[in-house]
Amino acid sequence: MPSPDITTFGKAESQSLHNCPHRSLRLNVAICEDEDLELKRLENILEHTDFEMNIFVFRNASEFIQTFEAKKYDLIFMDIYMPEITGVEAVEIIRKKDRDVYISFCTTSVDHAIDGYRLNVERYLEKPVSQNAVIEVLERASSRRMTTKRRCVSLGKNTGLINTEDIVFAEQNNHTVYIHLSNGEMLHKTGTLDSLSAELCGTNFFRCHKSYIVNFDHVENIDRNIYVFEMKNGEKVPIKQREFPQIRDSFNEYVFSVMRNR
């Protein structure tokens, strides 16, 4: 299966643990378009915006849905009229996996407006797409990520971003950081926990040990006898014994804060 064409626009910026403006986060943008002229036009518009993004290009909907994963993209530009599988059929499959990703139909016809409404497609762009319309879509997709509190980290150049809400915990071994995800996957990157902490956004992440960062959102319980966090996926994360009281109190404060805001 051919890999999608990937283009990166903008300069990467390190993220503060408590300061993560949406313009400093790269958008993962997928374009599913089989017409060369329309594809080049859309890519040219995206390249000349102020947004930082990774662009993943697919030439047909069949190829796209075979590689699609939930929460991998922040925005999808989807052509409707394509061979084998139409854009409407592709979005029907996408919505079964990801209800939140921002989708914009790109088409020469308005015949599928009802389909767009049914599938929660946010915008309906008529070809040739205009610069103002594309920028508006980018603005709304960025706002969507902020309002749903999605933050992300990168494993390196030209890779998809990982939503931090999916990170259960991270551990360091020598010069490699292993990232445990809620779907059971374990990814890795060269670096240190210090550098990963600089990329994480939000107060739900906590350095509970010199070799571990835990996501409080995924904690099920604290075992006070062996000093570990028991995670919802069944794994255990060590807690630094000397700092156990402070770490326990920080977790309790986080839980109380979440309960108050529900």
Give the domain-ending residue among 97, 121, 150.
150
Mean pLDDT over 24-46 rounds to: 90
206 and 123 housed in the same domain: no
Give the domain-ending residue among 127, 150, 173.
150
pLDDT in the model for residue 228: 96
Mean pLDDT over 20-32 rounds to: 68
Give the domain-ending residue among 150, 178, 203.
150
Going by pLDDT thresholds of 50, 70 and 90, the confidence category of residue 19 is very low
pTM for this entry: 0.54
pLDDT in the model for residue 133: 93
pLDDT in the model for residue 76: 97
123 and 231 housed in the same domain: no
10 and 41 housed in the same domain: yes
Lowest mean pLDDT among 32-41, 83-92, 100-109, 171-180: 100-109
User: Higher model confidence: residue 256 or residue 226?
Assistant: 226
CA 71, distance to chain mean position in Å, is: 5
146 and 241 housed in the same domain: no
User: Higher model confidence: residue 115 or residue 183?
Assistant: 183
Collect all residues with Cβ–Cβ distance below 8 Å to 121 and sequence separation of at least 6. Answer: 78, 91, 103, 104, 105, 115
pLDDT in the model for residue 100: 82
pLDDT digits (tens, 9 = 90+) for 62-117: 999 998 988 789 999 999 999 889 999 999 999 988 888 999 999 886 666 777 77
43 and 114 housed in the same domain: yes
Going by pLDDT thresholds of 50, 70 and 90, the confidence category of residue 15 is very low
Please, are residues 38 and 10 in contact by the beta-carbon 8 Å criterion?
Answer: no
222 SS3 class: strand
93 and 71 housed in the same domain: yes
Compute the distance between CA of residue 25 and CA of residue 207 in angstroms, rounded to an integer: 23
Provide the number of structural domains found in the chain: 2
76 and 39 housed in the same domain: yes
128 and 245 housed in the same domain: no
137 and 101 housed in the same domain: yes
Which residues form the domain of 118? 5-150
24 and 145 housed in the same domain: yes
Q: What is the CATH number of the domain that holds 129?
A: 3.40.50.2300
- Residue with structure tokens 């995924």? 218
Going by pLDDT thresholds of 50, 70 and 90, the confidence category of residue 191 is confident
Going by pLDDT thresholds of 50, 70 and 90, the confidence category of residue 49 is very high
Element (H, E) at 248: helix 244-260
Task: Kindly tell me if the per-residue pLDDT of 60 is higher than 90.
Answer: yes
